[in-house]
Each structure stands twice: as structure tokens, then as C-alpha cells.
Amino acid sequence: MPSTHIFDLPPEIIIRILKELDEQSVGRLKVVSRYLNTIIQKHGSALAKQAVYLAVLREKELIVERFLRRNRWEDYKYAVSEWLTDTSVLRQLAYAKVDTLRFQLTLPEEDVVELARRIDALKLSVFQVCFSECKLSSKSITSLIAVLRPQQISIEFDPFFNGVTVEALCRDDSFREINTLNLVNSQMTDNSLGLITAEHLNVYETSRLTLKGLRHILLEWYSGKRNIQDYLLSITERFVPGRVFHGLPSRQRSVIAWELKNSTGVLHVTIIGPELSFVKFFGITKLNCLTTCIQKRS
């Protein structure tokens, strides 16, 4: 039987062949010809999804970073005329497995709402969303979070962040439902810390947390009203570490480490100071401890 060139095959046969290929092979075929690239873009939802480690959305540019085998990385840059009209770029992201999506742009609130609507229509979802060097409103950020449904959020606050605060973000259910938060220069207050329900929380650099705020979340954990897996909080207020545990059944393990127990588990607390204090919480449930002991015995 004579050999047949792939371009001589009917489109439906080419699609069946593409469905049998892995994501890297599909990615290589995109650069073979415009014809194949058009077919892949049109039927991308039915093909193997390409793994994207990081996608950065800028004003007129999309940067895509992909991880290849043997510690190889590839960066691609795509020019974007307008995010609200050039939907082909968003469609390609929807056809990929995106680990982290970072926003580095300035858009009016009404444009972000429309962008969020288009993202929702494409069913684009990511593991982590980052906001860095942005000028977006609180409503814009929560609109994007609601449609992307990430498991983790990282936000770098700056003076040009359009007045966005942790308190304003916590008014939206989509933000409060996130289980892992990384906040940089958030100027977090005791009140905003009390509003956060995430089990994994990192507050880096400047904040306005005080001894009162630390005691409040410890009391919440002790009474079973707050779940803590791991917290890392930076605090600029000077305080005596021992006062954090006043009136609580705690045990000091070392100069910087304490242990607190409640009916469900153990909370390990490390405080390093004094000028800029770093407070580390690490919670272990009794169920996890029991499972670990059983596994060791078996």
C-alpha cells in the first residue's frame, strides 16, 4: 500500500490521529504548517492538553512558560492586540493545563467584568492565580477569582493597587473560600486577619498585625472555630512572645517554640523577633497523628 502524506488525509482522519498523540507531540505539530495549527486550535478541547507552568497576562502581551522533560524550559511570547477582542489567546489557555496564571495589567472595572465573562464561557480554570504590578479594583479581582476557581491566590499589594485591601476582598465569598493565600505588603490588620478563613496563610513583609490579633486567632483555634494547617505571619510590632499564650494551656518547647493543644489536635508555634517578628503556626490533627503511628507500626 503506497504511503500517504498527512496533508492528503481528510480532516476527520487527521483529528483522530491527533487524539492519539501526547501533549508535547501536539505542540510540535502546531509549528509544522498553518493548516495543522488551524486544525489543532479548532479542536483543541478534544486533544491532549499542554502543560503550562506559568502564563503571564500583560497589557499587550502573553508570556507562556512550559516545562519540558529533562529540566528544559521554554518561554513563548505572544502579542495581543486587545484582550476583549482577541479571544483566540484565551481559547488556547483554556485548552491547556495551566498551573499559575499571573495578571500584570491595568484594566477598567467594566473591561475586567467582560474579560471574566469570556473566561467563564471558555471554562478556563487554573491551580494558582497571582496579581502583581496590577491596577485593578477589588471587584475586578474577585470577579476573576470567581470564574477561575483557583486553589491558591498570591497578591502583591502596592500603592498603585487602586485602594484594594484585604477587608474589601473578604467581603466576597469567592475570596473567603480560597484555602491558600499568599499576601505581600498587605498592611493586614487584626480585623482582616479575623475575616480570613484560609487554612494556609502567608503574610510577607509589612503588616499591621498586633499581639491582640495573634491571640484572637489562637483562641479561635483552641475553641475549634478556626482550622490552621500552616500560617507564616510577619509582624512589625514589638511584643513579648510569652504573652501570646497567656491563659492558654501551652508548653514552651524551646526559646522560640511553643505547643498548644485542643480537643482535635496540636498547634506548633514558632516566634522569631524582636524587630520584625515571624510567627509560624503548624497544625497537626490527632487523626493525622494516629494514622502516622499506625503506618509506622505496620
- What is the per-residue pLDDT for 155? 94
Tens-place pLDDT, residues 29-41 = 766 777 777 777 6
Residue pair 60/29 in contact (Cβ under 8 Å)? The answer is no
- pLDDT (average), residues 291-298: 35
Closest CA to 161 of 143, 184, 127: 184
User: How far is the C-alpha of 245 from the C-alpha of 222, rounded, in Å?
Assistant: 11
User: For residue 146, what pLDDT is reported?
Assistant: 94
Model pLDDT, residue 173: 92
CATH node for 51-178: 3.30.420
**What value does the mean pLDDT take over residues 235-247?**
83
Q: Give the Å distances, CA to CA, from 288 to 121, 144, 259, 283.
A: 40, 35, 17, 10
Confidence of residue 89 (pLDDT cuts 50, 70, 90): confident
Pick from 159, 151, 107, 160: nearest CA to 130: 151
Res. 65: pLDDT tops 90: no
1-48 maps to which CATH number? 1.20.1280
Q: Angle 187-137-90 (CA atoms, 0-180°, nearest 5)?
A: 120
Q: What is the mean pLDDT of residues 134-159?
A: 91
Q: How, if at all, do strands 126-131 and 96-104 pair?
A: parallel
Domain ranges within the chain, ordered by starting residue? 1-48, 51-178, 206-298
Q: Is 162 or 182 the better-scoring residue by pLDDT?
A: 182
Per-residue pLDDT tens digits for 186-200: 888 999 999 999 999
Question: Residue 294: pLDDT band by 50, 70, 90 thresholds?
Answer: very low
1-48 and 51-178 have identical folds:
no
Task: For residue 247, give the 3-state DSSP assignment.
Answer: coil
Task: Place 23 in a pLDDT band, splitting at 50, 70 and 90.
Answer: low
Sign of CA dihedral 58, 46, 74, 100: positive
Question: What was the pLDDT predicted at 119?
Answer: 87
| The three three-digit cell numbers of residue 161, written as one number | 493597587
Report the 3 state secondary structure along 256-277. Answer: CEEEEECCCEEEEEEEECCCCE
Each residue of 90-138: pLDDT tens digit?
Answer: 777 777 788 899 999 888 888 888 888 888 888 888 999 999 988 888 9
Q: Which burial class, exposed, middle or buried, applies to 107 when counting CB atoms under 10 A from its CB (0-12, 13-18, 19+)?
A: buried
Q: What is the pTM of this model?
A: 0.78
